[in-house]
Amino acid sequence: MTAEILPIAPDEDRALAAALDHLGRGLPIGLPTETVYGLAGDATNPEAIARIYESKGRPRFNPLIAHVSDLEMAETQAIFSPLARRLAEAFWPGALTLVLPLAPSHSVHELMTTGLDTVALRMPRGFANRLIAVFGKPLAAPSANRSGKISATDAAHVASDLGDRIGLILDAGPTPIGLESTILKVDDDSLTLLRPGGVTVDDIEAAAGVPVRRPRPDGKIQAPGMLSSHYAPEAAIVLDATACEPGDAVIRFGSRPIPGDEAAAFVLDLSPEGDLRQAAANLFNYLKQADASGAAVIRVAAIPAEGLGEAIVDRLQRAAAPRP
């Protein structure tokens, strides 16, 4: 199989029809969202879900996010406490995923939730939202990359990772946020951060009026995607780099050179202005480019860990973690 790459613009209705045709037959598609590209399939269809796991090479104990188009669809799938509703109203559609108790009326398949009594829900913006509304059912969509690799932020990345395994990739260009959603577990009136992402903890706390708990680094893993090595490039990664060797690939931040990088094989700057939003949007693409340069070592400048920087540092630490 070789995936057709179909631009969404200018003929959005044609893209919608092609997507509906695939989804209706239980076939997953590459779907752009505001965070990263998803590998999207019918969340109620076990065959579609099995194909998602197979295409990604993803372990089946790692549950998927169900994407919904509106609050009514969300409340069919999960039980919303007043706090959960407040967060949905504040951040949806957007880059926040809520882990909530499954509702008795849920239609998402247990292959997708891996039999847990909770479900991870997100309401995306834009075309993805429109597609789900017309499809009329939630879409399961993990990031559209092979398991353990860097998440895809443009259609060409989806094609190089999964193009031989799926039939259709919709192309909306680079994704605006560039990092996956923030995952938050909501238990009545307490909030636990399972994965930092596109919505900052500061913004969540301001909207929720309660603090967000961060599991201790040595604590029990609560989201399987929190497994240490993830987003792994081929090259070795050195973080908080203060020096480099000739031939290294270098990723700067805020226009500050890393001493010795005039002899580097490859230099990129995540954000010359030191803007974390821009750095997030460039991160996965730059890691891929640095890796493709063939350098054996990628050295990355220190990134401030506040705001969106928390998610950027999280992804960098996973990319640098020892491989299994």
Question: Whose Cβ is closer to Mg ion: residue 147's or residue 289's?
Answer: 147
- Cβ of residue 230: shortest distance to ligand TXA, in angstroms? 9
Question: Whose Cβ is closer to ligand TXA: residue 100's or residue 301's?
Answer: 100
Amino acid at 96: L
Of these partners, ligand TXA, Mg ion, none, which one is at the site of residue 32 (CB under 5 to 8 Å by kind)?
Answer: none
- Cβ of residue 150: shortest distance to ligand TXA, in angstroms? 11
Question: Whose Cβ is closer to Mg ion: residue 183's or residue 244's?
Answer: 183
Question: Whose Cβ is closer to Mg ion: residue 143's or residue 282's?
Answer: 143
Of these partners, ligand TXA, Mg ion, none, which one is at the site of residue 63 (CB under 5 to 8 Å by kind)?
Answer: ligand TXA
Question: Whose Cβ is closer to ligand TXA: residue 39's or residue 241's?
Answer: 39
Of these partners, ligand TXA, Mg ion, none, which one is at the site of residue 33 (CB under 5 to 8 Å by kind)?
Answer: ligand TXA
Asked if 181 interacts with Mg ion (CB under 5 A), we say no
Residue 120: alpha-carbon gap to chain centroid:
13
In DSSP terms, 120 is beta-bridged to: 65, 99
Residue 62, C-beta contacts closer than 8 angstroms, at least 6 positions apart: 114, 147, 224, 225
Question: Whose Cβ is closer to ligand TXA: residue 33's or residue 271's?
Answer: 33
- Cβ of residue 251: shortest distance to Mg ion, in angstroms? 21
- Cβ of residue 296: shortest distance to ligand TXA, in angstroms? 28
Question: Whose Cβ is closer to ligand TXA: residue 45's or residue 175's?
Answer: 175
Name the pairing type of β-strands 139-140 and 249-252: unpaired
- Cβ of residue 278: shortest distance to ligand TXA, in angstroms? 18
Query: 3-state DSSP call for residue 291?
Result: helix
Of these partners, ligand TXA, Mg ion, none, which one is at the site of residue 235 (CB under 5 to 8 Å by kind)?
Answer: none
Alpha helices in the chain (DSSP H): 12-24, 46-56, 71-77, 82-91, 110-113, 126-135, 155-162, 201-208, 276-292, 309-320
Residue 203, C-beta contacts closer than 8 angstroms, at least 6 positions apart: 91
Query: 3-state DSSP call for residue 156?
Result: helix
Question: Whose Cβ is closer to Mg ion: residue 129's or residue 143's?
Answer: 143
Question: Is the Cβ–Cβ distance between 314 and 239 less than 8 Å?
Answer: no
Other residues' Cβ atoms within 10 Å of the Cβ of residue 239: 16
- Binding mask of the shown chain, residues 277 to 316, with x at each position contacting Mg ion by CB under 5 A: ----------------------------------------
Amino acid at 251: I
Which range binds Mg ion by CB under 5 A, 53-61, 138-146, 202-210, 241-249?
A: 138-146
Amino acid at 198: G
- Judged by CB under 5 A, the chain residues 141 through 160 that form the site for Mg ion are 143
Chain position whose Cβ is nearest to ligand TXA:
225
- In the sheet that holds 65-67, the strands lie side by side as 4-7, 168-171, 29-32, 37-42, 139-140, 65-67, 118-122, 96-101, 182-187, 190-195, 212-213
Of these partners, ligand TXA, Mg ion, none, which one is at the site of residue 128 (CB under 5 to 8 Å by kind)?
Answer: none
What's 277's DSSP letter?
H
Report the interface residues with ligand TXA, using CB under 6 A: 33, 35-36, 38, 62-65, 97, 99, 113, 116, 118-120, 122, 141-143, 180-181, 183, 194, 222-225
Residue 187, C-beta contacts closer than 8 angstroms, at least 6 positions apart: none
Cis check: omega of the bond before 93, within 30 degrees of 0: yes
Tell me which residues touch Mg ion (CB under 5 A).
Answer: 143
